[in-house]
Amino acid sequence: MIGAKDVHHIQTQVFGRRGPWGRERRTWMSEGTKSDPWELTTPPGTSSYTMYKDDEVAPPVLVCQVGSTTLTYQYRAIADLHSWLVEQGDWVLLGASDEKKSPAPDTVEAWGRSSDNPVGGWYGLRNGYRGRFAMYLPPLLEALGLAEVTHDPRNNSMRATCDVFTLNSWVVAGSCSTGAPGVVQESRRSGD
**Each residue's pLDDT tens digit, 65-107:** 999 999 999 999 999 999 999 999 999 999 999 999 999 999 9
Residue 136 DSSP symbol? H
Q: What pTM did the predictor assign?
A: 0.73
- CA separation, residue 151 to residues 13, 66, 88 (Å): 23, 19, 20
Coil vs helix vs strand at 140: helix
**pLDDT computed for residue 161 by the predictor:** 85
- CA distance linking residue 15 with residue 71, whole number of Å: 30
pLDDT at residue 173 greater than cutoff 50: no
| pLDDT, mean of residues 175-185 | 39
Query: Residues near 38 by Cβ (< 8 Å), separated by ≥ 6?
Result: 29, 30, 32, 50, 51, 52, 140, 143
Q: How confident is the model at residue 28 (pLDDT cuts 50, 70, 90)?
A: low
